Amino acid sequence: MADHLIRSLTKFAPFRPAELELIERLQEKAESFGARTDVILEGDQPTKMFIVEEGLMMRYRILSDGRRQILTFLIPGDMCDVNIFFAHAMDHSISAVGPSRIRRVARDDILRLCLGNPRFAGAFWWSSLQREAMLRERVVALGRRNARARLAYLFCEFYWRYEAIDQVLDHTLVLPLTQAELGDTLGMTAIHVNRVLSDMRDDGLLQRSRARIELTDFEGLKALAEIDREYLHYSAPPPEVAAYFRESAA
């Protein structure tokens, strides 16, 4: 099994063997979490970050009346952001959606790594761009799109994200989300999610089971969602920028 953190970072810049070994060593032993268990709670001041090795996790906030807003999802290879170390307290919680495995990295190790070798800082910067861009898309979707387009948008996002880690086969991906979770992500009730999904199925856009979704008409979904893959900023940074991080400063 490839090291996910390394795979993630090397998409930004090629690291040298010594650097890779360094990262590998920083990561703690893998930890498993059952579905619906929390990894970090709102209010915590984290002293470790982590990277998802397996499974599906989510960031969420619980409101005073008990309702939940899911902010974003973390899939294998994603890291809980380095930024949280600059916060006094988490403004949201992170939990496993399905059974998941993570590996933690201590705050001090990460900070030392970035300070000692700016190429790591650059890699984290890039991941920060991607996270922020996903949140912007969410805002656009919630602010200006109807239920059907919101669902289409979310599925497109998942499609591209899973595609980037080679977990799409035949427009089908493993996505163990309940309709309630989809609703809490997109600002809708589970009931309405159900109705709209069933319309979309009838229109031949998708096929869904509890843990699996097939995007039978991906082009149709994309058109509905009015979203472009480039919005996710998956392509590596422009060469002139990457150049700054190429010659190691370590």
Number of residues that bind DNA (CB under 7 A): 19
Q: Please check whether residue 186 is in contact with residue 154, taking contact to mean a CB–CB distance below 8 angstroms.
A: yes
Near DNA by CB under 7 A: residue from 90, 196, 213, 232: 196
Q: Does 208 bind a second copy (CB under 8 A)?
A: no
Q: Of the ranges 8-16, 42-50, 102-110, 180-188, which one interacts with DNA (CB under 7 A)? A: 180-188
Q: Does 84 bind a second copy (CB under 8 A)?
A: yes
Q: Of the ranges 75-83, 125-133, 189-197, 219-227, which one interacts with DNA (CB under 7 A)? A: 189-197
Q: How far apart are CA 71 and CA 59, in angstroms?
A: 5
Q: Of the ranges 22-30, 124-132, 183-191, 231-239, which one interacts with DNA (CB under 7 A)? A: 183-191
Near a second copy by CB under 8 A: residue from 16, 36, 136, 201: 136
Q: Is 181 left (phi over 0), alpha (psi -120 to 50) or beta?
A: alpha
Which residue matches tokens 């590998």?
A: 24
- Name residues contacting a second copy, limited to 88-107 (CB under 8 A): 88-89, 91-92, 107
Closest CB to DNA among residues 11, 148: 148
The sign of the dihedral angle between the CA atoms of 169, 171, 177, 181 is: positive
Residues found in the chain? 250
Q: Of the ranges 18-26, 30-38, 193-201, 239-247, which one interacts with a second copy (CB under 8 A)? A: 239-247
Q: What kind and span of H or E run contains 49?
A: strand 48-54
Near DNA by CB under 7 A: residue from 45, 83, 128, 189: 189
Minimum distance, C-beta of residue 192 to DNA, in the bound complex (Å): 3
Minimum distance, C-beta of residue 66 to a second copy, in the bound complex (Å): 11
Closest CB to a second copy among residues 53, 179: 179
Q: Does 216 bind DNA (CB under 7 A)?
A: no
Q: How far apart are CA 119 and CA 160, in angstroms?
A: 26
Closest CA to 137 of 205, 229, 56, 74: 229
Q: What is the CA radius of gyration of the chain?
A: 19
Write the burial class of residue 245 (CB in 10 Å: 0-12 exposed, 13-18 middle, 19+ buried).
buried
Q: How far apart are CA 228 and CA 234, in angstroms?
A: 11
Backbone angles phi, psi at 15, to 5 degrees: -100, 155
Minimum distance, C-beta of residue 217 to a second copy, in the bound complex (Å): 19
Q: How far apart are CA 157 and CA 155, in angstroms?
A: 5
Near a second copy by CB under 8 A: residue from 21, 28, 31, 132: 132
Q: Does 81 bind a second copy (CB under 8 A)?
A: yes
Q: Does 48 bind a second copy (CB under 8 A)?
A: no
For DNA, the binding residues (CB under 7 A) are 146-148, 178-180, 187-192, 194-198, 209-210
